[in-house]
Amino acid sequence: MTFSALDSELVGPLFASAEMRAVFSDRARLAAMLQAEAALARAEAQLGLAPAALPSAIDAIAAESLDLAELGRGTALAGVPTIPFVQAVRARLPAGLEPAFHKGATTQDIVDTALVLQMRTAFGLVAAELDAILAGLAGLAARHRGTPCVGRSYRQQAQPTSFGFKVAVWAAGVAEVAAELPALRRRVLRASLAGPVGTLGSLRDKGPEVADAFAAELDLAPAAIAWHTRRAGIASTGAWLAMLVGALAKMATDVVDLASTEVGEASEPHIPGRGGSTAMPHKRNPVSATVILSAHGAAPAFAASLLTAMAAEHERPAGTWHAEWHALPSLFGLASGALAEAKRLAEGLHVDPARMAQNLEATRGLLYADAVAAKLGKALGGRAAHERLEAAAGRVRSSGRDLREVLAEDREVAAVLSPEELRAAFDPGPAVRAAGAWVDRTLFEVARVRRELTNTQS
């Protein structure tokens, strides 16, 4: 039985990438736990607290050699996976090494450190996808920097803009979340080794030294003090993933509307067999946007559970810590699926400039009412010009005529605006050029964020 869509062989590939599912698989968790235990053994061996042969003996144990079903039964009995895991590893160690294994550590140390190791790999996957998405959106914005399209407010036509500007807004939204990733990684990729109540008391005065050596072995940051019940790092990771999905959802929301029959200005890249309907052969549903929006629908609740888990009692929590096991892998999984689909959109979105040009004329010139009012306002005053255009817009709606025709017949308008000046007010060019300046600024910022992402990974 499958309780999570992300774990399902049937629908899991739709919602999460295979790479991210592998990162948080049971085998990957066991491998990370073994890695943490081997690092602990090396740190203690350096200080004469463990046999020199112990680290290599742990390294020789493959995660695949451990019986998952047996460990699962042991976890159900013990309440945590570390207890049956430690028993299984000890049974595979050469005689005489078992007593030194897991020395000083507690269950949560190994589980949390293993999670951090998985997160490090997961962050790398996320960063690579983000870089590709930002590159794709930057290219799309640059190509359509001068493509006129309708700017919409409250789902109604407002003023002309450029499609490049719309894409630049998507890119800026993703970039501002991506820019937080390097600092987030530095804050949360830290080792956990603190013992039963956080003091590593069984190691006496060697505790801090072992903890630092343990972190160094894993190339993780050391913790100043136990973070068993300090969960801000985990909660902030969840919140960041939810914000990332939200930034992608902004793009997906626009794509769904742009792809609607009535708008028709853009559509997802066509792949045979994708986005069809069992009842309607003509349909090409926006699957990528749908996957992103489904992730956005689920992510906030998972992030909220991580915030709830911050209320951990005393030195070791009951229940709140365990709740994280549901939420954080799910958030990484949802983010991976959303990122994969956002990359597909960024790199392959089909854009229809001709349809955009048609839609610019859909309101029979009303889209340019503000531009005309600005010109009239210089002679009539702002309020009078606004009232004049509001009345003219009413005549356009009631008569079905074009705003340019209605205004051309208005004697007061003709008295202050020449035919050439009136015609110029209906030119989208100035609005598109104004939008272009913001596109350029955004492309510069996106490039900066991409460099930071690359430097963080190197």
418 an active-site residue? Answer: no
Helix (H, G, I), strand (E, B), or coil: what is residue 221?
strand
Both structure tokens of 380: 């009539």
Q: 228 and 316 in contact (C-beta within 8 Å)?
A: yes
**E strand spans, 137-184:** 148-153, 156-162
Say if strands 266-267 and 156-162 run parallel, antiparallel, or are unpaired: unpaired
For residue 219, give the nearest of 131, 126, 324, 121 by alpha carbon.
121
284, 316, 364, 395: the catalytic one is: 316
Both structure tokens of 458: 């190197």
Nearest-angstrom CA–CA distance, 124 and 20:
10
Distances in Å between the Cα of 99 and the Cα atoms of 51, 78, 192 are: 10, 20, 21
Q: 313 and 235 in contact (C-beta within 8 Å)?
A: no
Q: 15 and 296 in contact (C-beta within 8 Å)?
A: no
Gyration radius of the chain's alpha carbons: 30
65, 260, 277, 399: the catalytic one is: 277
277 an active-site residue? Answer: yes
Kind plus residue range of the DSSP H or E element containing 310 = none
Residues tagged active-site: 277, 316
